[in-house]
Amino acid sequence: MQGKTQTTLPQFIEIGTKKIKNLNGIFKNHNVACKEVLLLCDDTTLRIGGHDIELILQKQNIGVSNHLVQNSDDGTIVSVREVIRRNAPDLVIGFGGGKVLDVAKLAAAKNNTRFISIPTTVSNDGLASPVSVIKDSNNIPISHITRPPYGVIVDIDVVRQAPARHLKAGVGDLLSNLSAVFDVRLGHERKSEKIDTNALDLAEVGARRLLESQQYDMSSAAFLQNLTQGLIKSGFAMCIFGTSRPASGSEHKISHSIDHHFPPSRGLHGEQVGIAALFTMVLQKNWYLEAVKKFYEKIGFPCKLSYLNLSRDDFTEAVLNATKIRPERYTILEDITPIDEDIRRALKKVNL
Ligand SMILES: [Zn+2]
């Protein structure tokens, strides 16, 4: 984790249908005055809604230019910062998936420009969080703590079109909070690490609500609302806590260890942490394990290491090296220091 702690929160959140059509109304309600907007998107998102956003803003005599974001790496941050410096917008809008939003969030914050996040998919909890994941020169994803978005607008009509795989990954990232929150409590109990009950409640409540909803139809408004609200709460939890800790415990350490030892990335972030959480929840004897397993089954979440092209030996190696990641965070991995045999037994138990 790089950067320093921020405690600001997004100023507004809008979730619902027809949100993009009503963009000007939303700006008015939340006093988002702007004269010049830079729209960051990719080829696809420009086509499926980016041009609409431009037209809607232009009708209000707001100047708009767009810039396509192809990657989320250090080089892209440098080039996007240069575009922001040149165009001098008073607002940056990120319209896209995780890559576009991560780049927009970090580049806008570094240039001290307001940023509004309009996700086209809800595949991880970066929507409203202060975290931006950017690949370094070795192609390893690095989490940067930065300023969260000024506002978040989620148009359910848009995210409904996202591939099912992305929504499942969003479920994995959200439900993994149940493992992360367990670890924070454990770290507090064993090592007197910092705890913030409000942040933990926020990180946990969205995940619990999703489990309790018994809504498994991923195209239904109820499912999409629950998932989106849960991921946004998760972002707020990180803002309040000041780090990603309430949403990133042993399961995220393992996923980062997989990124380091078996690059390039084996799956979407939410898939990796969602699968790793099944394993850490066995070690934790986590009360939510059965409910998470059932939810995964119902939505067809990929619950196999083979899905990530990893063998049990590979995963074992990733687990054994995971404690080198963010060693300051005490988790179940530091608590029981599992050896090969423990890892194999736990993997068997959840049939990974
Ligand atoms: Zn995550």
Instruction: Report if residue 6 sits inside a domain.
Output: no
Asked if residue 174 and residue 40 are part of one domain, the reply reads no
pTM metric for this prediction: 0.92
In the predicted structure, residue 264 carries a pLDDT above the cut 80: no
Q: What is the pLDDT of residue 7?
A: 61
Asked if residue 304 and residue 250 are part of one domain, the reply reads yes
Cα-to-centroid distance, 172 and ligand 1 (Å): 8
In the predicted structure, residue 265 carries a pLDDT above the cut 80: no
Q: What is the pLDDT of residue 138?
A: 86
Provide the total of helices (H) and of strands (E) in the chain, helices listed first.
16, 8
Residue matched to tokens 């969205």: 206
Instruction: Report if residue 335 sits inside a domain.
Output: yes
Give tens-digit pLDDT for 315-337: 999 999 999 999 999 999 999 99
In the predicted structure, residue 2 carries a pLDDT above the cut 70: no
How many beta carbons lie within 10 A of that of residue 19, not counting itself? 18
Asked if residue 130 and residue 22 are part of one domain, the reply reads yes
Instruction: Report if residue 1 sits inside a domain.
Output: no
Asked if residue 171 and residue 307 are part of one domain, the reply reads yes
More confident residue, 115 or 8: 115
Give tens-digit pLDDT for 118-158: 999 999 999 999 999 999 988 888 989 999 999 999 999 99
Asked if residue 230 and residue 149 are part of one domain, the reply reads no
Cβ contacts of 212-219, under 8 Å, gap ≥ 24? 216/295, 216/298, 216/299, 218/164, 218/167, 218/168, 218/299, 219/160
Asked if residue 339 and residue 192 are part of one domain, the reply reads yes
Q: What is the pLDDT of residue 304?
A: 93
Range of the domain at 140: 12-159
Please tell me the total count of domains within the chain: 2
In the predicted structure, residue 271 carries a pLDDT above the cut 60: yes
Asked if residue 129 and residue 180 are part of one domain, the reply reads no
Instruction: Report if residue 231 sits inside a domain.
Output: yes
Cα-to-centroid distance, 29 and ligand 1 (Å): 31
Asked if residue 120 and residue 264 are part of one domain, the reply reads no
In the predicted structure, residue 3 carries a pLDDT above the cut 60: no
Q: What is the pLDDT of residue 176?
A: 98
Q: How far apart are CA 270 and CA 171, in angstroms?
A: 7
Cα-to-centroid distance, 252 and ligand 1 (Å): 7
Q: What is the percentage of the chain residues whose pLDDT exceeds 70?
A: 98
Instruction: Report if residue 2 sits inside a domain.
Output: no
Domain boundary among 159, 174, 189: 159
Cα-to-centroid distance, 97 and ligand 1 (Å): 14
Cα-to-centroid distance, 335 and ligand 1 (Å): 22
Q: What is the pLDDT of residue 168?
A: 97
Asked if residue 145 and residue 188 are part of one domain, the reply reads no
Residue matched to tokens 């690490």: 193
Domain boundary among 159, 185, 207: 159
Give tens-digit pLDDT for 28-60: 999 999 999 999 999 999 999 999 999 999 999
Asked if residue 320 and residue 175 are part of one domain, the reply reads yes
Nearest CA to 95 out of 44, 55, 40 is that of: 40
Cα-to-centroid distance, 351 and ligand 1 (Å): 23
Tell me, what CATH number does 63's domain have? 3.40.50.1970
Domain boundary among 143, 159, 175: 159
